[in-house]
């Protein structure tokens, strides 16, 4: 709780800064990765820079959510900030890719505490009638960060140094710490519970095993290799062990009874499906624009701006209207916009006008934006304070899990489609790649200086192959989006009730 109303704004500012910093970190690093690898080397190991962060975040979310329920939000939010800043500072001084990967894991431990606890603090300190607007604001920051990250990362890398991609977190984090320490005074009444160590350990091992299997499969090792099969087997065994541990634990990390609540269960499924499909857009739309339209890599971050604006609008509107209608009605608006926008993106061709791409991105961003504010709130609907951290961290965990699976599965599909279409396009044209173009290196279409050297008839075939592979991938994402549409209809009519006095209860 907040002792004085005047303290609320600084607390919210501190939470927003923490969310912005953690949510933006993966995307801001992605645009700097080429420069980092050229400086530190380790091209064969660069994938661990992203994987180490995501594994640590995903493993930590449910654990920190539970610990915040047991011992208080403030201490673990500050703990997350401090660890994140230590990891950021270490990343900036890394001398090798291996060192950078280790330091990114430290960052991830802190990041796993920040996002779910921030949403839960808002739910704790605001009355029900104001929670929608505030979670809408936090959701808008989350959505904007996924698009602002590449833009900021590109400019910092080009005009300052890749080291500052990590150092930039330090002043932001320090301000966040000062605001939370100074102005956030929470209730000291927390239930003392036993820590579910068996659940925590089995969850971490299962998640880490699955992440490594997905990241290494088809790259470092063949999918049918003993290493990948072993990792999948480890995931299965420890995931089953996790469920057994949760059924037996007195105070489980993830109370399975929560999934008996219709609104909670459907919110988790939707977070997983939305996360797994939206990430594809942030990855492949910049590639489409660069490869098909010949856009500049330096300005790649600007490409997604329309989608960012759409997601901010959707998140804000979802939060504002939360007290006026049910979660399901708002999510129906969300899914309609999402389906229409994704289908239209699937119809893109090399001849599609850029302004149409902008309209399509706004539509899809608007649809996804609702999920950023509504799903965390729906997860905590009618829950006692001691379960809110667990509920929200579970929602964040499943969204991140969906993103990881989505980018791996659909990324592989797009790569295979592109390879097949290239083979089909150049069938019977062996050696056609002379005059400065190597058939085995289609990356030249992303480099303006190299692109101009490619004979026009070859460039045209490659561009069409890239365009078709990406748009087909967009069409394939309609399958999980259709599952999301079905799930929405099972959400029920739960809503935030506003009484005649103007107050609300959730």
State residue 504's pLDDT score.
46
Split at pLDDT 50, 70, 90, the class of 503 is very low
Split at pLDDT 50, 70, 90, the class of 401 is confident
* Pair 231, 224: CB distance under 8 Å: no
Averaged pLDDT, 22-31: 74
Query: For residue 407, what are the contacts with CB-CB under 8 A and spacing of at least 6?
Result: 279, 280, 283
State residue 89's pLDDT score.
94
Q: DSSP assignment, residue 431? A: T
State residue 443's pLDDT score.
53
Please provide the CATH number assigned to the domain covering 5-196+250-419+472-505.
1.20.1250.20
Does residue 193 sit in helix, strand or coil? coil
Place of tokens 């003993």: 226
Read off the tokens for 123: 């739910």
Is the C-alpha dihedral spanning 438, 441, 444, 449 positive or negative? negative
Averaged pLDDT, 100-129: 84
* Pair 126, 390: CB distance under 8 Å: no
pLDDT tens readout for residues 125-136: 887 777 767 777
Q: DSSP assignment, residue 497? A: E
The more confidently predicted of residues 449 and 438 is: 449
Averaged pLDDT, 166-191: 84
State residue 482's pLDDT score.
96
Residue 210 CB neighbours (<10 A): 22
C-alpha to C-alpha distance for 15 and 388, rounded to whole angstroms: 17
Averaged pLDDT, 184-201: 72
Averaged pLDDT, 380-398: 82
**Is residue 47's pLDDT more than 50?**
yes
Does residue 191 sit in helix, strand or coil? coil
> Among 39-43, 88-92, 225-229, 362-366, where is mean pLDDT lowest?
39-43
**Is residue 427's pLDDT more than 70?**
yes
pLDDT tens readout for residues 265-279: 999 999 999 999 988
Percent with pLDDT over 90 in the chain: 25
Torsion on CA atoms 220, 223, 228, 233, rounded to nearest 10: 170
* Pair 279, 236: CB distance under 8 Å: no
> Among 93-102, 145-154, 312-321, 344-353, where is mean pLDDT lowest?
145-154
pTM, 2 dp? 0.77
The full set of domain ranges for the chain reads 5-196+250-419+472-505, 197-249
State residue 439's pLDDT score.
47
Place of tokens 């706004």: 362
Torsion on CA atoms 100, 104, 106, 109, rounded to nearest 10: -170
Averaged pLDDT, 175-194: 78
State residue 43's pLDDT score.
58
pLDDT tens readout for residues 48-75: 777 778 778 877 887 888 788 778 888 8
Q: Identify the burial level of 61 via C-beta atoms within 10 angstroms of its C-beta, where 0-12 means exposed, 13-18 middle and 19 or more buried.
A: buried
State residue 428's pLDDT score.
64
Residue 353, sorted as left (phi over 0), alpha (psi -120 to 50) or beta, turns out to be: beta
Residue 29 CB neighbours (<10 A): 24
Residue 505 backbone phi and psi in degrees, to 5: -135, 145
The more confidently predicted of residues 101 and 304 is: 101
State residue 451's pLDDT score.
62
| Angle made by CA atoms 294, 300, 301, in degrees to the nearest 5 | 155
State residue 430's pLDDT score.
54
State residue 436's pLDDT score.
42
* Pair 367, 477: CB distance under 8 Å: no
Give the gyration radius of the chain's Cα atoms.
23
Among 168-182, 316-330, 377-391, top mean pLDDT goes to 168-182
The more confidently predicted of residues 6 and 202 is: 202
Instruction: Write down the mean pLDDT value for the chain.
Output: 81
Per residue in 404-422, is it b (16+ CB within 10 Å) or e — as a string? bbbbbebbebbeebbeebb
């Amino acid at each position: 709780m907040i002792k004085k109303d005047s303290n609320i704004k600084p607390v919210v500012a501190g939470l927003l800064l923490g969310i912005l910093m953690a949510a933006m970190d993966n995307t801001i690093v992605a645009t700097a990765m080429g420069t980092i690898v050229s400086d530190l080397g380790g091209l064969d190991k660069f994938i661990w820079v992203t994987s180490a962060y995501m594994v640590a975040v995903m493993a930590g979310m449910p654990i920190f959510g539970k610990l915040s329920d047991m011992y208080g939000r403030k201490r673990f939010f500050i703990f997350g900030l401090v660890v994140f800043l230590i990891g950021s500072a270490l990343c900036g001084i890394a001398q090798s890719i291996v060192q950078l990967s280790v330091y990114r894991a430290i960052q991830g431990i802190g990041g796993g505490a920040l996002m779910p606890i921030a949403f839960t603090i808002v739910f704790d300190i605001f009355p029900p009638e104001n929670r929608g607007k505030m979670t809408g604001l936090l959701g808008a920051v989350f959505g904007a960060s996924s698009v602002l990250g590449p833009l900021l990362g590109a400019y910092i890398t080009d005009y300052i140094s890749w080291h500052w991609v990590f150092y930039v977190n330090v002043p932001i984090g320090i301000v966040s710490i000062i605001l939370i320490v100074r102005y956030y005074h929470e209730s000291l009444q927390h239930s003392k519970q036993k820590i579910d160590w068996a659940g925590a350990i089995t969850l971490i091992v299962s998640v880490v095993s699955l992440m490594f299997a997905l990241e290494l499969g088809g790259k470092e090792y063949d999918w049918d290799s003993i290493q990948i099969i072993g990792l999948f087997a480890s995931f299965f065994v420890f995931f089953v062990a996790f469920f057994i541990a949760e059924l037996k634990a007195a105070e489980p990390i993830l109370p399975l009874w929560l999934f008996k609540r219709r609104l909670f269960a459907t919110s988790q499924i939707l977070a997983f499906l939305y996360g797994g499909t939206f990430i594809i857009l942030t990855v492949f739309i910049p590639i489409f624009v660069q490869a098909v339209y010949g856009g500049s890599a330096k300005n790649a971050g600007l490409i997604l701006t329309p989608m960012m604006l759409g997601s901010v609008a959707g998140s804000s509107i979802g939060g504002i209207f939360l007290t006026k209608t049910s979660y399901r009605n708002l999510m129906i608006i969300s899914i309609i916009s999402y389906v229409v926008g994704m289908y239209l993106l699937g119809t893109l061709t090399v001849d599609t006008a850029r302004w149409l791409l902008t309209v399509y991105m706004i539509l899809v961003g608007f649809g996804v934006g609702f999920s950023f504010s509504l799903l965390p709130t729906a997860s905590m609907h009618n829950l006692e304070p001691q379960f809110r951290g667990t509920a929200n961290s579970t929602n964040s965990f499943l969204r991140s899990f969906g993103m990881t699976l989505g980018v791996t599965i659909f990324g592989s599909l797009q790569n295979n489609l592109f390879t097949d279409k290239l083979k089909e396009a150049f069938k019977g044209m062996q050696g056609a790649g002379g005059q400065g173009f190597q058939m085995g290196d289609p990356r030249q279409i992303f480099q303006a200086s190299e692109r101009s050297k490619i004979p026009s008839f070859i460039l045209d075939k490659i561009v069409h192959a890239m365009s078709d592979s990406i748009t087909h991938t967009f069409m394939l994402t309609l399958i999980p989006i259709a599952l999301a549409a079905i799930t929405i209809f099972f959400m029920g009519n739960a809503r935030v009730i506003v009484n005649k006095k103007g107050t609300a209860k959730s």
